Each structure stands twice: as structure tokens, then as C-alpha cells.
């Protein structure tokens, strides 16, 4: 009886405390909402009265961040406030916003040319790209010390768009530091290798006056690669390696426009220079590579094949294998696979096609042996091999351990929970990335499960990737926004699971995803695509500015997917490829294959690496979602499997 009484008391205590917490968090959220409005309206009185009440609220550090940013913006003497900034950074050093504040203040000080304060505030170089460039710029401006060009090479060469602050650093350096010409030429060589045209233009402008003619030659080659023969005679720069890089760069561009002219030009260049056999082979491979997807004469075809046959480049041989698949030429397919290095032959795609060749040769036992080996793995070809053999693929499904107290009491959790509540997904993502960066695999499994249970689906996916726990299917493929996908695929030809597979591939379930191409949200909808859908389906709502909203995104995305699906004969292979690469490319590839090849050959023959992998992933993810929801397990429908592409 005493035990029952104690249990009742404990239940009452828990219930009472939960009510207190619910009331407390509800009031804190109301205060938080008020203070956020006050920030927008610059109502200092409300901010001052409410801020002390929110000291125990998980997002108090973020409020302090905003408050400090406003204070910094109003302060004319930035040196006087650096103490407060340092204090904030030290106080919240274990929260990602500390780095944000650090980078913000460095960039602001650089913007005001406040070098003394900046170098006092940050004597060591920061990690963030923009802050790093600004730090180097100010350090040179005030210390008059040479900039470490080596440290900046990676920044310049890894970016498609050079940040303004890094671009400014290059130009200022040229004007005042006089970066040695050999360093600039080295960078131009790197930029040519990376095929970074914008950086080449920027760097050539930095060359000193006595290199003016040379700079003009480089720009002329960039804009008109066919002029290489006339220009190469005028190139007097002593570095053969640099000249060779210029030649490679020009042949790369010329062979894309006119492969026959590129071959003739290359032959003349080879006679003009004393090159090693390996240098000559590289030039030949550059030209041959750009002939693979083009209609060329029989003579050029023979030359290209001889170059690739003598090549040790795996990617070049693989491109030719894919061309053989597109042409449905099994003789060429067998030959080119045999030319692959041993390690490349072990890739699942080439294992499958070696088995396919054996099967057609009547060596069915050997072929089946390879298929069964593929089935033991967990990739696209594993499921294809299972369907080829007419057996069900076995999905290994590990169950993540339930989150224990070490997970539930993590100090980051209340902040993440509140950030997700307020739909501040980007800030929540920063917190989660920081959280999972130093956890054990067991902890990561618990965190993945916890995230899935909390409906933080993108964090669940992200954590499985961090932990490499590929058999935790439930966490890898959460049934995110399931009811919305049911709602918006109802009465459509596309299945819910297919639409979810597209979303999982597109955004990893991040509703705040935003690509460089301006694709937005769960299904990565571009504004122009949204306009197209609005026109097709006569949608009257103004939804262009609402694409980050999950429901709007799913609504528009599923309508667009349905439109493509019907355009392409209700075929997921073609639809997935079109969703990624556009309908025009699909029509080009279909014209090339001319209804001669099977489904798997068509997928593997897709010339774009991104699209090829995209299609494989979507079909694989669709199969996983089918498994989780008790649907058919084959990776392709019988219609997709039997169709000729």
C-alpha cells in the first residue's frame, strides 16, 4: 500500500512539474515573441523590460546576439565596444553564434578600415573565408607585410564566384605589394587547370606593364582558343610548364567547339615543342575526351579510340564505356571494360556489366555469382541484381538505441528545440552540426533516433551521414511530412513514396535548403518553375515568395513532378533525370539511344555524373520508402524494366 501511495505522489509530482514547465515555456515564448517584435520596431523600452525576464529562456544568447549587433551598428567608436564583443564570444564560446559574432565584427572593422582594432581584436587569422580575406587585407594595410599568397590559393581556385572581399585583396595587392610575376603566372596556371575563366581574367589584369602583351595573349586565347597557333609563337615566357598549361587550356576550349580543328592544331603544337610522351598523351586525351559525345568522322573516331585505348585515365575509359552502352554495342562494351584498371573494374556498375556480358555469352553460373555478390551490398546495383535474378532484396534494418539521459540532458537540446519551434532552421542546423561533431557512434545513433522522433527529419538524415550508419533505415529515410505528401499526391499518377524520394535527394529534408541556382525548399523549386506550375494549373494564389513553407513547396513540387511524369510516359527513370537536368537534355539522350537499350543501360549511359547519380539515388530511395511502408520491393516497375529507351 505504501508503495502505491509513493507512486501516486511521484506521478502527481511529475504532472505538477510538467504543468509548471508548460506554463513557464508558454510565457517565455510569449515574451520572446514580444521582444522580437520590439527589435523590429526599435522599441528599447520593451526590450529593456523583457530581456531580464528571459535570462533562463534557451534562446537568451540569441537575443543578446541581436541586442549586441544593434548596439554595434549604432556605435561610432568600434574600438570602445570590442570589449563587449570579446565578452560575448568568451561567454558563449560553445555556441555557433560566437563564431558568427567574431566573423561579423572582423568584417565590419575591415569595412571601416579600422585595422588597429581589428588586429587587436583578432591577432590570429579567422577560418571563415570572407573574414580571412578581410583579415589579410587589413594586416597588409597596417603592418605592410607581404600577404601569404600560398594560403589564399585554395580560396581563389575553389570558388566559382570570387567573394568581393577576396577580389579586393587581389587588386589591392597588385597595386601596392607587387605580387611577383611568377606567383601571378603560377596562379593563372592553376586557374587554367581549374577552368576558372573569371579568375584568369582577374589575374591577368594584375600582371605588370612589361607583361602587358603577354596578358593580352592569354586573354585572347581564353576568348578565342583557335588563335593558339598564331599566339604561341609570340609567347616568350620561359616556363615550359606554364606554356603547356596554356596549350592544354586552349585545346580544352577549342575541342569543345571544333574537335577536328583541335586535333590538327594539337599535331602542329606537338611538332613545335619537345614534349615527353606523357605530355603528348595528356594533350591527346583532352581532345579525345571532347569527341566522345559528338558525331565525328570515321577517321576521327578511329583516332579517338586509339588514344583512349592507350590511356590510363579511368574517367576517360568510363566515358567510352557509357558511349558503348548508349549505342548498345556489346563488343565495344566488353573491350572497354577490359581496358579499365583492376580497381575500377571492382566498382559495382562495372561488376554488373561484366556479369551482363558473361550472361549473354552463356556463362550464366559466373554471371549469377557476380549478381549474388552485388546483392549483399546496399546500393542501386544491389537491387537491380536482385530484380534481374527475380528475387526479393533483403533490406537490413538496424534499430537505433532509445535516447538515454546523456542525450536528453544535452545542453544544446533546449536551444535546438526552441529554434525549431520558431522555424529558425538555419540557426538550429548550425547548433545541430556543432552538437554531432564530437559524438561517439552510439551517441549519434541515439541522436538520429531522437531527431526523427522530434520530427527534426533533416537532422536525422544528417546524423546518419555523420555516423555512416547506413543500415539505420528509419533514421536515414524518415517519413517526413507524410500527411502532406499523401494529400498532394492523392489523385495523381505519381506515388507518395516517389515524391518523397525526390525530396529526400533534393534537400535531405531541409525545409530551408537554398541552392546557388536559387532552388528553394524541400523539393528545390526554382521561382521560374513555380511560375510555370502556376500557369499550367491555373493557380491564383501568390506563392512565389512562400516556397520555403513546406506545404507550399510540396504542393508546387508534386504538381511539377506530376506534369513531367505525364510528359514522359509515367516513367520514373526519365522523370527523375528531367527533374534534375531538364526536359531538353532528356530528349537529346532519348534521341541518341533511339529506343535500342534497356533501362539500366540508359541510366548508366547518362553523360552527366550528377544526373546519373541522382537517378540512381531517387530509385533506390523510392525502394527504401516502399520497404518502410510495405509496398512492392523491386527497384523498377515491370513497365520501366521492360521498356526500351
Pairwise CA distance, residues 502 & 289, whole Å: 32
Residue 109 C-alpha cell reads as 572593422
Exposure of 600 in the CB half-sphere (CA atoms within 13 A): 19
- Give the total residue count for the chain: 645
In DSSP terms, 525 is beta-bridged to 520
Residue 472 has a pLDDT of: 98
Q: Which residue has the cell 601569404?
A: 148
Q: What angle (nearest 5°) sits at the alpha carbon of residue 35, between those of residues 30 and 37?
A: 100
In DSSP terms, 514 is beta-bridged to 520
Closest CA to 355 of 334, 326, 335: 334
CB of 292 closer than 8 Å to CB of 323: yes
CA dihedral 316, 322, 328, 332 (to 10 degrees): 30
Closest CA to 422 of 88, 69, 58, 24: 58
Pairwise CA distance, residues 255 & 226, whole Å: 9
Residue 158 C-alpha cell reads as 575553389
Residue 172 has a pLDDT of: 60
Ranges of residues in the chain with a pLDDT under 50 are 1-21
Residue 8 has a pLDDT of: 37
Neighbouring C-beta atoms of residue 313, cutoff 10 Å: 16
- DSSP E strands: which ranges in 72-140? none
Residue 196 has a pLDDT of: 77
Rg (CA), the chain: 30
Q: What is the DSSP letter of 594?
A: T
Give 372-410 pLDDT, tens digit per residue. Answer: 999 999 999 999 999 999 999 999 999 999 999 999 999
Residue 150 C-alpha cell reads as 600560398
SS3 of residue 600 by DSSP: helix
Closest CA to 630 of 402, 336, 370, 395: 395
Residue 106 C-alpha cell reads as 572582423
Q: How far is CA 398 from CA 211, 252, 393, 472, 508, in A?
A: 64, 48, 16, 5, 20
Neighbouring C-beta atoms of residue 562, cutoff 10 Å: 22
Residue 219 has a pLDDT of: 78
Pairwise CA distance, residues 69 & 67, whole Å: 5
H helices of 310-394, in order, are 314-326, 330-338, 342-345, 348-360, 364-375, 380-389
Report residue 433: phi and psi, to 5°.
-60, -40
Q: How far is CA 291 from CA 262, 266, 305, 584, in A?
A: 10, 14, 10, 21
Report residue 71: phi and psi, to 5°.
-65, -40
CB of 304 closer than 8 Å to CB of 263: no
Show which residues are catalytic: 506
Pairwise CA distance, residues 245 & 457, whole Å: 47
Amino acid at each position: 500500500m505504501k508503495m502505491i501511495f509513493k507512486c501516486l505522489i511521484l506521478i502527481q509530482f511529475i504532472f505538477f512539474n510538467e504543468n509548471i514547465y508548460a506554463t513557464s515555456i508558454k510565457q517565455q515564448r510569449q515574451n520572446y515573441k514580444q521582444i522580437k517584435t520590439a527589435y523590429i520596431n526599435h522599441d528599447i523600452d520593451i526590450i529593456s523590460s523583457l530581456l531580464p525576464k528571459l535570462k533562463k529562456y534557451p534562446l537568451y544568447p540569441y537575443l543578446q546576439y541581436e541586442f549586441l549587433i544593434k548596439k554595434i551598428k549604432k556605435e561610432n567608436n568600434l574600438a570602445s565596444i570590442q570589449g563587449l564583443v570579446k565578452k560575448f564570444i568568451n561567454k558563449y564560446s560553445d555556441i555557433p553564434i560566437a563564431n558568427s559574432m567574431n566573423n561579423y565584427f572582423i568584417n565590419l572593422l575591415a569595412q571601416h578600415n579600422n585595422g588597429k582594432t581589428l588586429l587587436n581584436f583578432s591577432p590570429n587569422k579567422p577560418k571563415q573565408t570572407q573574414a580571412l580575406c578581410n583579415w589579410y587585407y587589413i594586416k597588409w594595410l597596417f603592418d605592410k607585410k607581404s600577404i601569404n599568397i600560398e594560403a589564399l590559393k585554395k580560396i581563389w581556385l575553389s570558388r566559382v564566384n570570387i567573394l568581393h572581399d577576396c577580389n579586393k585583396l587581389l587588386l589591392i595587392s597588385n597595386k601596392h605589394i607587387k605580387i611577383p610575376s611568377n606567383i601571378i603566372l603560377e596562379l593563372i596556371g592553376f586557374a587554367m587547370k581549374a577552368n576558372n575563366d573569371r579568375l584568369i581574367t582577374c589575374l591577368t589584369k594584375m600582371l605588370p606593364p612589361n607583361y602587358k602583351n603577354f596578358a593580352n595573349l592569354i586573354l585572347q586565347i581564353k576568348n578565342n582558343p583557335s588563335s593558339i597557333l598564331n599566339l604561341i609563337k609570340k609567347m616568350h615566357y620561359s616556363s615550359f610548364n606554364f606554356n603547356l598549361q596554356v596549350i592544354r587550356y586552349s585545346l580544352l576550349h577549342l575541342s569543345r567547339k571544333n574537335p577536328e580543328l583541335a586535333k590538327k592544331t594539337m599535331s602542329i603544337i606537338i611538332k613545335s615543342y619537345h614534349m615527353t610522351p606523357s605530355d603528348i598523351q595528356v594533350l591527346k586525351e583532352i581532345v579525345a575526351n571532347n569527341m566522345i559525345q559528338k558525331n565525328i568522322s570515321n577517321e576521327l573516331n578511329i583516332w579517338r579510340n586509339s588514344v583512349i585505348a592507350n590511356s590510363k585515365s579511368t574517367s576517360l575509359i568510363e566515358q567510352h564505356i557509357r558511349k558503348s552502352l548508349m549505342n548498345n554495342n556489346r563488343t565495344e562494351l566488353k573491350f572497354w571494360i577490359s581496358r579499365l584498371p583492376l580497381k575500377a573494374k571492382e566498382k559495382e556498375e562495372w561488376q554488373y556489366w561484366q556479369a551482363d556480358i558473361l550472361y549473354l555469352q552463356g556463362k550464366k553460373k559466373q554471371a549469377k555469382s557476380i549478381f549474388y555478390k552485388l546483392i549483399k551490398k546496399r546500393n542501386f546495383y544491389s537491387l537491380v541484381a536482385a530484380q534481374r535474378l527475380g528475387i526479393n532484396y533483403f533490406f537490413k534494418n538496424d534499430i537505433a538505441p532509445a535516447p538515454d539521459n546523456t542525450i536528453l540532458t544535452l545542453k544544446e537540446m533546449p536551444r535546438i528545440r526552441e529554434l525549431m519551434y520558431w522555424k529558425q532552421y538555419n540557426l538550429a542546423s548550425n547548433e545541430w552540426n556543432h552538437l554531432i561533431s564530437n559524438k561517439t557512434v552510439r551517441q549519434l545513433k541515439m541522436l538520429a533516433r531522437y531527431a526523427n522522433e522530434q520530427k527534426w527529419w533533416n537532422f536525422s538524415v544528417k546524423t546518419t551521414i555523420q555516423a555512416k550508419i547506413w543500415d539505420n533505415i528509419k533514421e536515414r529515410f524518415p517519413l517526413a511530412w507524410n500527411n502532406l505528401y499523401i494529400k498532394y499526391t492523392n489523385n495523381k499518377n505519381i506515388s507518395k513514396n516517389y515524391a518523397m524520394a525526390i525530396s529526400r535527394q533534393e534537400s535531405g529534408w531541409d525545409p530551408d535548403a537554398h541552392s546557388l541556382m536559387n532552388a528553394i525548399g524541400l523539393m528545390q523549386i526554382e521561382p521560374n518553375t513555380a511560375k510555370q506550375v502556376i500557369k499550367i494549373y491555373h493557380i491564383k494564389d501568390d506563392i512565389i515568395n512562400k516556397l520555403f513553407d513546406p506545404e507550399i513547396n510540396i504542393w508546387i513540387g508534386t504538381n511539377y513532378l506530376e506534369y513531367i511524369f505525364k510528359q514522359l510516359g509515367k516513367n520514373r527513370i526519365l522523370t527523375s533525370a528531367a527533374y534534375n537536368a531538364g526536359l531538353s537534355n532528356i530528349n537529346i539522350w532519348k534521341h541518341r539511344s533511339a529506343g535500342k537499350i534497356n533501362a539500366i543501360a540508359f541510366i548508366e549511359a547518362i553523360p552527366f555524373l550528377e544526373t546519373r547519380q541522382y537517378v540512381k539515388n531517387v530509385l533506390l530511395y523510392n525502394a527504401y520508402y516502399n520497404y518502410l511502408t510495405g509496398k512492392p520491393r523491386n527497384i523498377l516497375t515491370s513497365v520501366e524494366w521492360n521498356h526500351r529507351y
